[in-house]
Amino acid sequence: MMATQHMLTTIDNPFNPFTDWDEWYAWDENVGYHTTAYLARTSHTSDELSETDQQLALEDAIDVIIKENITGRYRRVSEEIP
């Protein structure tokens, strides 16, 4: 059974965070977006949560960021995983 994984990115980042993580991250940091830090601040995760619950917390945080998206900068990207 395939599952869908989601990540947060920006509309102008030319790299795929699934396949080009290092380049994606470097580009994001260099332009000053700090998307991973924003996602971390928005999510309610804990080491005490199961991996599944942590993933759900990240999904919820992505939903919040996309919904609020005041700058219009953020978007969700998806990839099927086995």
pTM recorded for the entire structure: 0.87
pLDDT digits (tens, 9 = 90+) for 20-56: 999 999 999 999 999 999 999 999 888 898 988 998 9
Asked, for residue 81, whether it belongs to a domain, the answer is no
pLDDT digits (tens, 9 = 90+) for 55-70: 899 999 999 999 999 9
CB-based contact 8:23 (threshold 8 Å):
no
Token digits for 27? Answer: 């580009």
Residue span of the structural domain in which 43 resides: 11-75
Q: State how many domains the chain has.
A: 1
